[in-house]
Amino acid sequence: MDLSIIIVNYNVKHFLEQCLYSVLKSLESLKGEVIVVDNNSVDGSCQMLNDKFPAVKLIENKKNLGFSKANNQGIRITEGKYVLILNPDTIVQEDTFRRCFDFMESHPDAGSLGVKMIDGKGNYLPESKRSLPTPKVSFFKVFGLSALFPKSKIFGKYHLGYLDKNKTHKIEILPGAFMFIRKSVLETVGLLDESFFMYGEDIDLSYRIRLAGYENYYFPETTIIHYKGESTKKGSINYVIVFYKAMIIFARKHFSLRNARLFSLLINSAIYLRALVSIIRRLFFSGITPVTDALLIYIGFYLLQPLWARYKFGDTQYYPTEYLLYVVPVYILIWLFCVYISGGYEKRVPVVDLLKGIATGTGGIILIYALLPESMRYSRALLLIGSVWAATSFFISRLTQGTIFNTVQILFKKRKKRIIVAGSPDESKRVMSILKQVNISPVLIGLVNWHNLWTSDEYIGDISQLDEIVPINRVDEIVFCAKDIPSHEIIQTMLRMGDAAVEFKIAPPESLSVIGSNSINTAGEFYVVNINTLSHSFVKRKKRIFDLVISVLLLLLSPVSVFIVRHPLGYFRNIFHVIINLKTWVGLASVDDSDSEYLSGMVSGVLTPIPVSKQKTVANETIKRLNLLYAKDYKLSNDILIIIRDFKSLGN
């Protein structure tokens, strides 16, 4: 056999399909095989392969093993004279494999080969050819000198920019997206180093090939498309950390101790620098919207005030300067605060939430206005005119920034809900039969397993993969089968998925179907997890503000409270911890060590739904059930009652 092609796939079904069509066409001129190693994708990749590419050998991993381990799985079963490690987000030409094969056959010194790569827009990808990332080369790359002087033999060595991209060259490092390797060389130097989970393994293997006396070639006589980064978010700080840490592993493995330390220092400096830039950038973009809102509202008042004064009183200077200096800024702060509380600064803003925040702010301002002395009531009419302008400016700001979520769709088009059901096959079918009776006409995307307990072709992943399943499949709603999924798993998942734009529903096991019912609340006793679920971002903000208010009140009450609470020092310590968000006044109760992941992502509570006097005697199942009731229908009033009930224990 001439060639064995190995493709590691992870949640890029559509790219994989396109890649395989081009691969099979290019393979027609050679005797070869295609091996796809799937790293536990949840987007239906394996089903697509079975349906459309039955001749492709498929290895289905039950978890994400990383790039190196997955490729090694494929390499171990290859039969070809040459092995090609290929990314799924690539498209090869019809003659790519034949040209590479012929070049390797005519160059016995070649251990491996890479080709010219372009992105989806036709731009040349400089990583098609690279040099060894020594400390000096990496320094020039990390601090931008290679980008400033790409053609320089000193500063531009990382991507070898001084070498003609249209000519064949001997190079040091090949890109992991396309590595055409002689099988006998792999048997000599070994497979990919599995200590690299992702990134860096291509540098390590390329370096070992050269150490063994073989050459790596850049071969531009054939070109492939590499969409570059469809499997990873390369702009994220997480990518920077993972990539640079891979470089540190490489340095410790191949460089001298002195150089490895220097390299590690350089890389860690780069990580902190990129993290700082990322934080500054995030603060800038998170603050630009409220600043824009405030400026727009203020400009409106600045222009409206003299116009109204001239119309009403015939004097543009009727209102004192204090009005624009102090009163209007207070109005603006109230509007911004209320819009924030209502979710108006989320990435995707429903119109109704934005209007709700503006209306609440206006109502609050009017209430405060009514309580002020006559001398400070400047103009009720101007306030109302200004509130209309505030609403208009908020709306204009969101439209221009593109944060109004599906405005046209919400107002004019009703889209069918895309749902997934977590549970056993039988229970899931029963729940779906209930949902089909209601008027939402949902679209079932698939079933979700629980610790891979059940077997069915309808399962698209496990409950631990919901972070990936939801965005990839554009899921609107997750339905949990309470008969099959323990309540602590449901809560943990809700907390973990709280900021996702997805709804949660729970189907009790004792529910019965009601034929012909058109209400989701009456169809077989199927009930909806209230929108005030503890995981919702709006509720998190509300609870955080509640904690801060209670902390201030408890500080004011401290002269009396210290004689009531059991542990006065702990009382002040808890106030401090709540203020800095290390604790919340009321949180979920903990369970035994076997459920240590139960409270992941949730700050601990000073108090819990379980009375302090009974915490040592309540069974775990009862704790989980009470936690579920507290979390799924969260109310501030419940927190107030719990604090009053266990006031003496606020110092615990």
What is the pLDDT, as a whole number, of residue 383?
Answer: 85
CB within 8 A of 303, min separation 6: which ones?
none
What is the band of 151 on the pLDDT scale with cuts at 50, 70, 90? confident
Average pLDDT in the chain? 78
CA atoms within 13 A of residue 418's CA, in its CB half-sphere: 13
Return d(Cα 248, Cα 45) in angstroms, integer: 33
Return d(Cα 272, Cα 39) in angstroms, integer: 31
Q: What is the pLDDT of residues 295-354, one digit of tens each?
A: 888 998 889 888 888 888 888 888 888 888 888 898 888 888 888 777 777 666 667 777
Return d(Cα 295, Cα 372) in angstroms, integer: 26
Q: Which has more confidence, 273 or 63?
A: 63
Return d(Cα 360, Cα 160) in angstroms, integer: 60
- Concatenate the DSSP letters of all residues of 541-571 into one string: HHHHHHHHHHHHHHHHTHHHHTTTSS-HHHH
Q: Mean pLDDT over residues 436-453, rounded? A: 76
Residue 503 phi/psi, 5-degree rounding, is -100, 155
Q: Which has more confidence, 531 or 507?
A: 507
> Residue 423 gets which letter from DSSP?
S
Identify which of 603, 587, 607 has the alpha carbon closest to the alpha carbon of residue 649. 607
CA dihedral 602, 604, 605, 606 (to 10 degrees): -170
What is the pLDDT, as a whole number, of residue 285?
Answer: 64
| Per-residue pLDDT at 40 exceeds 70 | yes
Return d(Cα 465, Cα 478) in angstroms, integer: 13
Question: Is the backbone of residue 478 left (phi > 0), alpha (psi -120 to 50) or beta?
Answer: beta
What is the pLDDT, as a whole number, of residue 180?
Answer: 96
- Cα–Cα separations (whole angstroms), residue 128 to 109, 161, 501: 20, 10, 38
CA dihedral 22, 2, 51, 422 (to 10 degrees): -100
C-beta separation of 523 from 504 below 8 A: no
- Cα–Cα separations (whole angstroms), residue 122 to 88, 114, 228: 18, 18, 12
Q: Mean pLDDT over residues 618-630, rounded? A: 75
C-beta separation of 537 from 524 below 8 A: no
Q: Where are the alpha helices (DSSP H) in 319-373?
A: 321-322, 328-341, 351-371
Q: Which has more confidence, 439 or 639?
A: 639
Return d(Cα 109, Cα 484) in angstroms, integer: 60
In the chain, the percentage of residues whose pLDDT exceeds 90 is 17
Return d(Cα 38, Cα 64) in angstroms, integer: 8
- Cα–Cα separations (whole angstroms), residue 524 to 343, 517, 527, 597, 625: 33, 9, 9, 32, 21
Q: Mean pLDDT over residues 214-224, rounded? A: 92
Going by their DSSP bridges, the two strands 215-226 and 110-118 should be labelled as parallel
What is the pLDDT, as a whole number, of residue 250?
Answer: 62
What is the pLDDT, as a whole number, of residue 411?
Answer: 41
Give the sign of the dihedral formed by CA 448, CA 451, CA 453, CA 456: positive
CB within 8 A of 505, min separation 6: which ones?
477, 478, 479, 480, 526, 527, 528, 529
Helix (H, G, I), strand (E, B) or coil at 173: strand
Return d(Cα 210, Cα 176) in angstroms, integer: 16
pTM of the shown model: 0.57
Identify which of 385, 384, 404 has the alpha carbon closest to the alpha carbon of residue 394. 404
Structure tokens at 138: 């990496």
What is the pLDDT, as a whole number, of residue 119?
Answer: 77
Which range has highest mean pLDDT (54-68, 418-432, 489-503)? 54-68
Cα distance between the two ends of the chain: 71
Tell the CATH topology of 3-129+165-231. Spore Coat Polysaccharide Biosynthesis Protein SpsA; Chain A (3.90.550)
Q: What is the pLDDT of residues 535-579, one digit of tens each?
A: 666 677 788 888 888 998 999 888 888 888 989 999 999 999 898
State the DSSP H helix or E strand holding residue 25, giving kind and residue range, or none if neither.
helix 13-26
* Other Cβ atoms closer than 10 A to 564: 13
Identify which of 262, 263, 231 has the alpha carbon closest to the alpha carbon of residue 246. 263
Domain locations along the chain: 3-129+165-231, 285-410, 414-528, 537-649
- Concatenate the DSSP letters of all residues of 73-128 into one string: HHHTT--SSEEEEE-TTEE--TTHHHHHHHHHHH-TTEEEEEEEEE-TTS-B-GGG
Q: What is the pLDDT of residues 157-182, one digit of tens each?
A: 777 877 888 899 998 888 888 999 99
Q: Mean pLDDT over residues 227-252, rounded? A: 55
Q: What is the pLDDT of residues 102-121, one digit of tens each?
A: 999 999 999 999 999 887 76
* Other Cβ atoms closer than 10 A to 112: 26
Q: What is the pLDDT of residues 525-540, one digit of tens each?
A: 333 334 346 666 667 7
* Fold agreement between 3-129+165-231 and 414-528: no
| Per-residue pLDDT at 240 exceeds 70 | no
C-beta separation of 495 from 632 below 8 A: no
Q: Which has more confidence, 7 or 192?
A: 7
Going by their DSSP bridges, the two strands 477-481 and 503-507 should be labelled as parallel
- Cα–Cα separations (whole angstroms), residue 241 to 144, 171, 536, 580: 17, 26, 29, 27
Only one residue has tokens 């266990």, namely 646
Query: What CATH code would you report for 414-528?
Result: 3.40.50.720
Q: Mean pLDDT over residues 249-261, rounded? A: 62
C-beta separation of 247 from 133 below 8 A: yes
Identify which of 348, 327, 473 has the alpha carbon closest to the alpha carbon of residue 401. 348
| Per-residue pLDDT at 7 exceeds 90 | yes
Return d(Cα 520, Cα 523) in angstroms, integer: 5
What is the pLDDT, as a whole number, of residue 348?
Answer: 61
- Cα–Cα separations (whole angstroms), residue 25 to 15, 94, 95, 597: 16, 6, 9, 48
